[in-house]
C-alpha cells in the first residue's frame, strides 16, 4: 500500500504520477515524478522550478578586498554585493571602486561605456536648471567667487549645447 502513496504526483499530491521529468537546476540533475498536467506546467517553465538545457552560465567574477567597503548612499557592503552580485543603489558603483571596475572589466572585457550617451531630461527641466544656474552665476560674480563662476559658466554652456538633441 505504501508504494502506491509514493507514486502520487510530487507536486500536486492528488493525482498518481505518470511522468518522470528530469530537470536541471543550477547544473544539478533532479528527477521528479509528476502527473501529466503538473509535468506540462513544469516543463513549460511556468511554475517555480524549471527545466533548462544544461548551458554553461557566465558568472560575475568574485573578488575579496582585505577590508569591507560600505556605500555611503545606502549603507550596502561590498561583502553583501559579492553574495548576490547585485548593486543596491547607483552610488554603490563608485563606493566599491576599484573593485567595481575590476568586476565589470573582467565580465565584459572592456574598460568603459561606448554606447548611447544619456543627455538628461527635457527642455522644461533644462530651462529650470538654466534658471537655477544663471542665478547662481550672478550671485558668484557679485560675491567675486571667480573660480566658482567659471565652473558655473561651463555648466551653463554644456547645458545650452544640449539643445535640439
Partner 1 sequence: MNWKKKMVPDRFKWMSEKIPFWLRFTSPLYGDMVLSVRIRLARNLKGHMFPLFLNDEKKVRVFNLIRDALTSIKELKGLRIYEITELEDIEKEFLLERHLISKDLLKNGRGRGVCIDMEEKISLMINEEDHMRIQVFYPGFMFEEAFMKTMEIDDLIGSVIEYSFHKKYGFLTSCPTNVGTGFRISCLLHLPASVITGRVQDIINYSFSQDITVRGYYGEGSEVLGNIFQFSSLRTFGKSEEDILSNFKNAVYKIMDMEKEEREKLMRDSKDLLEDRVLRTIGILKNAKFLTSREVMEYTSHLRMGAGLNLIDINIEKLNEVMLLNQPAHIQILFGKRMEGKERDKFRGILIRSRLNIS
Which residues in this chain contact partner 1 in the complex, by CB under 8 A? 35-37, 40-41, 43-46, 50-53, 55-56, 58, 60, 74, 76, 85-90, 93-94, 100, 103-104, 107-122, 125
CB of 68 to partner 1, least distance (A): 18
CB of 32 to partner 1, least distance (A): 13
CB of 90 to partner 1, least distance (A): 4
32/149 with CB nearer partner 1: 32
93/141 with CB nearer partner 1: 93
CA distances from 92 to 62, 83, 117, 131 (A): 16, 15, 21, 31
87/141 with CB nearer partner 1: 87
What's the length of the chain? 165
Q: Is 109 helix (H, G, I), strand (E, B) or coil?
A: coil
CB of 143 to partner 1, least distance (A): 29
79/125 with CB nearer partner 1: 125
CB of 108 to partner 1, least distance (A): 4
13/85 with CB nearer partner 1: 85
- In DSSP notation, the chain reads -HHHHHTB-TTTSSSB--EEEEEEETTEEEEEEE-HHHHHHHHTT-SSS--------PPPPP---SS--B-TTT--BHHHHHHH---SSTTHHHHTTTHHHHHHHHHHS-SS--SPPP--S-HHHHHHHHHHHHHHHHHHHHTT-HHHHHHHHHHHHHHHHTTT-
Amino acid at each position: 500500500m505504501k508504494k502506491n502513496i509514493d507514486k502520487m504526483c510530487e507536486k500536486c499530491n492528488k493525482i498518481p504520477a505518470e511522468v518522470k521529468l528530469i530537470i536541471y537546476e543550477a547544473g544539478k540533475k533532479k528527477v521528479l515524478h509528476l502527473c501529466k498536467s503538473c509535468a506540462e506546467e513544469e516543463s513549460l517553465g511556468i511554475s517555480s522550478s524549471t527545466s533548462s538545457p544544461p548551458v554553461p552560465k557566465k558568472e560575475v567574477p568574485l573578488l575579496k578586498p582585505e577590508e569591507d567597503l560600505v556605500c555611503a548612499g545606502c549603507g550596502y557592503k561590498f561583502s553583501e554585493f559579492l553574495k548576490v552580485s547585485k548593486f543596491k543603489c547607483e552610488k554603490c558603483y563608485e563606493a566599491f571602486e576599484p573593485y567595481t571596475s575590476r568586476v565589470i572589466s573582467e565580465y565584459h572585457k572592456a574598460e568603459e561605456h561606448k554606447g548611447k550617451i544619456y543627455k538628461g531630461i527635457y527642455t522644461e527641466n533644462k530651462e529650470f536648471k538654466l534658471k537655477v544656474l544663471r542665478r547662481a552665476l550672478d550671485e558668484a560674480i557679485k560675491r567675486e567667487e571667480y573660480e566658482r563662476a567659471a565652473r558655473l559658466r561651463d555648466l551653463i554652456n554644456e547645458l545650452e549645447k544640449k539643445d535640439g538633441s
